[in-house]
Amino acid sequence: MFNRTKSKKGRRSPMATVSLIVVGLMTTGGAYALFSSTANADDSTSTVAASSQSNVNEGEKLFASNCATCHGLSAQGTSEGPSLIGVGAASVDFQVGTGRMPMAAQGPQAEEKPAQFTDEQVDALAEYVASLGPGPEVPSTDLTNGADGDAAEGAELFRINCAMCHNVAGAGGALTEGKYAPNLETVSGKHIYEAMLTGPQNMPVFNDLNLTPEQKADIITYLKYVQDNKSPGGFALGSLGPVAEGLFIWIFGLGAVVAMTVWLTAKSN
């Protein structure tokens, strides 16, 4: 009894010990959290770097066995295919993603066909080519999903910039020397963006000064609208516009009137 009171007076109070322990625990805990989180951050950046490096290596292998015959072992170009240094990831993603590359046969235009590679392999090829020289990157999905753009604005831009080759409704059309602008009825938003960014073959490049990323997104929104809302009824007549519609009325409309007149007069006789 005596001892206890003495110790109470002579030493620090038990609360002091408790708070000392709390402070100690918090410092060690805090320091641990700090160090372990920086260590984690280091870890994750190094895994990202490692995985993109292995992607590039993977892409290089795929390239050597599928593309090098025409584009050269280090993509420097040959007489069979152009140099790919500086064309960027977007061009590879477009060309391989739409099945145009690897090109099957020499012709006026690389044909679209079912894609030969998985998405991961396309990414790897794109990263490999992008590692050779800077070029346009694969656009982010918020620009290409067609959800946020202005369809009316996009329709206007499409009429001005694209309709002369692709037709107002994106139905496609013939160009000179056996080339053609394909119809845009099934193409994905990402590939629409990349086509504008890289200008495949006879198509002009629409860089960000010609059409801002927002305007490109508007065009995608318009084309998605056309894809989702097929002609509301009747014959679309290939959406060729007033000439085709006028011709249709002259031949079939007027023809019907003539046939009716002939039938009526034949009856009255």
Chain contacts with ligand HEC (rule: CB under 6 A): 66-67, 69-71, 80-82, 84, 87, 91-92, 95-96, 98, 100-103, 109-110, 112, 125, 161-162, 164-166, 175, 179, 181-182, 184, 187, 191-192, 195-196, 198, 200-204, 206, 219
How crowded is residue 262: how many other Cβ atoms within 10 Å of its Cβ?
10
Instruction: Pick between residue 168 and residue 236 the one whose CB is nearest to ligand HEC.
Output: 168
Query: Do 99 and 116 form a contact (C-beta atoms < 8 A)?
Result: yes
Instruction: Pick between residue 42 and residue 142 the one whose CB is nearest to ligand HEC.
Output: 142
Instruction: Pick between residue 65 and residue 265 the one whose CB is nearest to ligand HEC.
Output: 65
Instruction: Pick between residue 51 and residue 207 the one whose CB is nearest to ligand HEC.
Output: 207
Instruction: Pick between residue 47 and residue 116 the one whose CB is nearest to ligand HEC.
Output: 116
The span from the CA of 162 to the CA of 35, in Å, is 55
Min CB(237)–ligand HEC separation in Å: 22
Min CB(51)–ligand HEC separation in Å: 20
Query: Do 226 and 169 form a contact (C-beta atoms < 8 A)?
Result: yes
Min CB(247)–ligand HEC separation in Å: 25
Among 189, 184, 109, CA closest to 141? 189
Long-range contacts from 145-151, C-beta under 8 angstroms, 24+ separation: 145/189, 145/220, 146/189, 146/217, 146/220, 146/221, 146/223, 146/224, 147/221, 148/217, 148/221, 149/214, 149/217, 149/218, 149/219, 149/220, 149/221, 149/222, 150/218, 150/221, 151/218, 151/221, 151/222, 151/225
Min CB(239)–ligand HEC separation in Å: 16
Min CB(244)–ligand HEC separation in Å: 20
